[in-house]
Amino acid sequence: MPPLSEQVILITGASAGIGEATARRLARSGARLILTARRADRLKALATELDPTGIRVVPFAADLTLAEQREALITGTLARFGRLDALINNAGYAQRGPLERVPLESIRHNYEVNVFAVVALCQLVAPVLRDQGSGRIVNITSVAGRIARPLTSVYDSTKHALEALSDGLRGELKPFGVQVVVIRPGFIATDFVSAATAASADTLADLGPYTPYMSRLRDGFAELRRLAAGPDVIARCVERALSARRPCLHYTAPAHARLFLFARWLFPARVVDWFIRLRTRPV
Ligand SMILES: NC(=O)c1ccc[n+]([C@@H]2O[C@H](COP(=O)([O-])OP(=O)(O)OC[C@H]3O[C@@H](n4cnc5c(N)ncnc54)[C@H](OP(=O)(O)O)[C@@H]3O)[C@@H](O)[C@H]2O)c1
């Protein structure tokens, strides 16, 4: 793996939050970056701010649920830089609501963005990295990829799927010199909650008998979100994953996220289940 300053790195979901913070951090190292997301104006402004010459940091607007846009993204990256060293699969959002009431097409869409787009990008990028004999794929999952909660089980299941896909893919690509790393954020202060609320608006508008449980969950989240760290804490993990000679298989940050996973490992499943359900029980 070349040093960070010589790497070509593709970051998805770079128009906001963790992806934007990662772009800012990696740009400081001198790496060449391709920034992608749907909002072209935000990508362009960020790329210009990070590299006014337009040589090292390139915006590429794409909706990752669309096959032709994913293909154009990878073809465009290779045409521009001639190689690719790392793919950061960060784009994602949360569909909220009780499973009974979330329309199947909303569940499918959440899987399209959080799982199938990631799988498709890995399929496009794997042959490139394999032929080079080096490269890294960094998948941003979540603590919710290890702990599933009521009323947000759709999102949590997408992240569980991504954890399993990443762990399996790691063994498939290792013989070819390609490493797969998982990063599990805890609560991070970004637009994530407002994006989740917007994506789930129809479901949340009519929750029927689940209404009091959902408002308890909202209050619980508001309390826990006070633990939230800034997105640079995850950007630092990405930087470590790309610069370490032997990166960890999983990075979990910030500290509260490591504590949650430690508690999940330590306590019997019934105790963990009871504790999580406390957060949705109306008071
Ligand atoms: N914030 C947290 O507390 C937290 C915790 C655990 C895990 N995570 C994970 O961290 C990752 C980044 O989240 P964040 O907190 O930075 O949220 P965010 O601020 O809402 O950013 C999400 C990014 O994903 C992009 N995106 C969404 N749908 C897309 C699509 N169809 N095609 C292309 N790009 C798309 C958005 O760009 P456009 O809207 O411009 O397309 C945006 O850049 C997500 O995978 C999330 O699940 C976040």
- Segment 186-195, tens digit of pLDDT: 999 999 999 9
CATH of 4-278 given 3.90.226.10, 3.40.50.720, 2.30.40.10, 3.10.20.30: 3.40.50.720
Q: Which of 87, 192, 250, 252 to mutate for ligand 1's pocket (most ligand atoms within 8 Å of CB)?
A: 192
Mean per-residue pLDDT, 101-114: 98
Q: Is the pLDDT of residue 92 over 80?
A: yes
CB atoms within 10 A of CB 168: 11
Which residues does ligand 1 sit against, CB inside 6 Å?
13, 15-19, 37-39, 63-65, 90-93, 113, 140, 142, 185, 187-188, 190-192, 195
At residue 224 the predicted structure's pLDDT band, cuts being 50, 70 and 90, is: confident
Position 277 scores a pLDDT of 85
pLDDT grade for 55, boundaries at 50, 70 and 90: very high
Establish whether 213 is a catalytic residue.
no
Predicted local confidence at residue 248, as pLDDT: 98
- Of 10, 15, 111, the residue with max ligand 1 atoms within 8 A of its CB, to mutate for a pocket test, comes to 15
Q: Does the pLDDT at position 38 exceed 90?
A: yes
Q: Which residues pair with 140 in a beta bridge?
A: 183
Domain locations in the chain? 4-278
Q: Among the options 111, 155, 210, 213, which is catalytic?
A: 155
- The pLDDT confidence band at residue 183, using thresholds 50, 70 and 90, is very high
Q: Whose CA is nearest to atom 7 of ligand 1?
A: 142
- pTM over cut 0.95: yes
pLDDT at residue 282 tops 80: no
